[in-house]
Structure 1
């Protein structure tokens, strides 16, 4: 009887306990999911500043136990001493919401155009004091692994404007074990060359070329600037493994450690875009082209060009087309500068239209060229085929991705609408960006690179892609 009476009482008590605890448990679970979502997408409060104050940031930077840095610990200063981390902090822009393709937030941000001209920083002011430049723009704060130290890289940047954008890329890829060459076009506006020289003078591994060319588009000048940087970087350093060239209006998509790992997967191959010319383009090397200073372009003449060097031919598909940008082994760079066949081809191509698209891929078709990937078969390595690692470019005729912004010379100028797309591309860099069109997309990429450099989390990297591009797949 007693047992019968006590059972209902215990059940009743249990019911009250359950009814009391359910809201508490639900609230706790909701808070945990809310915190998780907040970590993934960032703040959903449009009035919340996504960045900490300068004092708090410096305090956090000094806290060695906190590895979850959200923003670059970099400041920009003006002559009055005003300081911001970047345009992102000044305009209270939350990159994480852009990264996850938060469409309303993207539209809201895009409606308030932010260009480089609103920056409070004076790069001339910063670069007049090397210690200040290094400290404020964070050159000395990068963590460096032993793997990176053992695999130095040579970088070349060829620029003609937007010195702030160029410096932003330099500070992102700068590491003490690497070497850098910068060519400033002779037509650059007054003051740009001097500013770049001041920046270069702050580092013993950054070389700003004193010899400057007035580069004419589609002329041999575009190739000559690379040859000048190649020569310089071979002279000053004997340790680097690969040479990667950039235009001043590109921006990097991978951290230094990620680049090192990608280049090691190449197993000594060059990453050079390479495919046969179409018959409609043969005119480029059938007739002499001459400069037109008035129009700033090359014009076709009626004079036939001299015969193609005997080692190359259209029929044998050893006269190839591709990008002037890529990732070249040190051996290939030495081959380009010093082999007789390379000198012969460069000399012959000097009066053709767009020789910069012919020289690298044609030289890489030779069996004796170091890093040659075409010894066994002529495989197509093309940006539009998504197997050219060095560069992501969206042309007007690109089908895989449509440009939301504007086109210049048929190339997309990336903006914040492309951020989520850019972050998943396997390429080392992307072309083009313009700080006067959209500074936010550059700043957000810099933030992502900064955080990935400190986290060094490569678990979600698509390594399968790199192992199975044509110039790596099956390579010993």
Structure 2
């Protein structure tokens, strides 16, 4: 394919690696299969029947296995589509972006997102259209080590939306813990200057994907964390070094994690208690303004920059200051920000990684879908469409169905991903 575009089958796999699924579900008894010729074993690259996704969400296994993919096929050329200068309407419609607030509640509750990218451009398109809403604000930070063509494509896509901007301050190695902390601070400086009155900021990386819809995220914040920050973690002193609670610190967005209790070098300023935990957060606007202006916050930032893993303790440490806006001094690991499968928790928190581990963190496979949709978390990490393309495709289709089912405004035809099935495919042939 020369350009990323909606196919005539309506399945937007332009943002996913081109994949063949050489399988069919063993959902019919043997005699039924003999009574009717089986569907073609080799489906067109990039085509996923909805019943396959549904079966995987229910925890069923496909036959013979989800194993043979078109890994040697070229990835869709999304650059040509993204660079369709002067035709942003065609691009946003073709990529099925939802460009109208879907309810009054959502329209009056703006979120801000900070998204750090380095690779997997197709995955970014899928992530962006899943979290995109016209009332929200998006700061995109492209890693300084990313290929020039990648950066141009992201800039061209962002240029078509008035609420998406590229951070002008480029951090090299922003996928690392130190680089990511500064990238987040840089984006925050721009976000607070916006006239859009967003209420919370959420940080993501290009390997994340939402499990909950925009409306469900808002309901979660209002019911559980009204005007409070979410920074899962515990104090780094005493028994906290043993990482109590549901699990160890989450990996830094885009990379692995080291023990942030090591390498402090010197005592933190202002006698603050250092907390260790997740590099992910969900912060109120007032707290962000505090981070950027308070003298203690600035001093802690300077101190944190010299530590081993600053993003895994900076946010949690400041959020435990009693006078910080939206602080949660007594909070621990709660927050449900990310669904993550860690090797050390296999058999305790989860049933094992059905994809593969990278730095002891699971890159999800199709067999993880049933576990993912049962998670109470808002987002999940990690995904890699280049090696496990079916996972994000199924999640995206399910997510869009839920988004549209919750809408209180008339939906547009181009917002829908057209249902696909073996039967649809057979009837068209």
Answering whether residue 268 of structure 2 is matched by residue 308 of structure 1, we say yes
Matched, 1:189 2:141: no
What is the alpha-carbon distance in structure 2 between the residues aligned to residue 162 and residue 142 of structure 1? 27
CA 1:304 to 1:396, structure 2 compared with 1: closer, same or farther past 3 Å? closer
Residues 76 and 136, structure 1, Cα contact 8 Å, conserved in 2 = no
SS at match of 1:412: strand
- Which residues in structure 2 correspond to 1:328-367 (within 5 Å)? 328-367=283-322
Tell me the C-alpha RMSD between the 2 structures.
3.2
Residue 294 (structure 1) aligns with:
none
Match of 1:261 among 219, 224, 227: 219
For 2:360 and 2:68, the matched residues in 1 are separated by 26
SS at match of 1:154: strand
Matched length: 354
2:67 maps to which residue? 111
CA distance in 2, matches of 1:77, 1:247: 16
> Could you list the runs of 5+ residues in structure 2 that have no partner in the other structure?
1-5, 17-42, 242-256, 408-429
Which secondary structure does the structure 2 equivalent of 1:444 belong to? helix
The equivalent of 2:332 in structure 1 is: 380
Write the deviation string for residues 327-354 of structure 1: whole angstroms up to 9, x where unpaired: 1111111111111110010001111100
1:111-165 alpha-carbon deviations (Å, 9 max, x no partner): 12366x7476321111122222201111146661100001010011101111110
Cα drift, residue 218 of structure 1: 5.2
Q: Does structure 1 conserve the Cα–Cα contact (< 8 Å) formed by 2:141 and 2:166?
A: yes
CA apart distance, 1:326: 1.4
Q: In structure 2, what is the equivalent of residue 473 of structure 1?
A: none
Change (3 A) 1:88 1:418: farther
Aligned equivalent of 2:355: 405
Shift of the alpha carbon at 1:449?
0.7
Larger radius of gyration: 1
Change in Cα spacing, 1:87 to 1:223, as seen in structure 2 (3 Å) is farther
CA spacing shift, 1:445–1:304, aligned 2, 3 Å: closer
Listed as ranges, the matches of 1:275-294 within 5 Å are 275-277=234-236
Partner residue, 2:194: 236
Q: Work out whether 1:415 is the aligned partner of 2:362.
A: no
Answer whether contact 2:116 2:206 (CA < 8 A) is retained.
Answer: yes
Is residue 274 from structure 1 mapped to residue 233 from structure 2 by the alignment?
yes
Structure 1 residues 150 and 411 mapped into 2: Cα distance closer, same or farther (>3 Å)? same
Question: Any conservation in 1 of the 2:15–2:122 contact (CA below 8 Å)?
Answer: no
Alignment of 1:106-185 (within 5 A): 108=65, 110-113=66-69, 118=73, 121-129=76-84, 130-140=88-98, 144-185=102-143
Answering whether residue 162 of structure 2 is matched by residue 212 of structure 1, we say no
Distance 1:346 1:95, change over 3 A: same
Q: How does 1:449-460 map to 2 (within 5 A)?
A: 449-456=399-406
Structure 1 residue aligned with 2:340 = 393
Q: In 2, distance between residues paired with 1:225 and 1:231?
A: 10
- Can you give the 5+ residue segments of structure 1 that lack an aligned partner in the other structure? 1-52, 58-71, 79-85, 283-296, 313-317, 382-386, 458-476
- Normalised TM-score (structure 2): 0.75
Task: Provide the residue aligned with 1:439 in structure 2.
Answer: 389
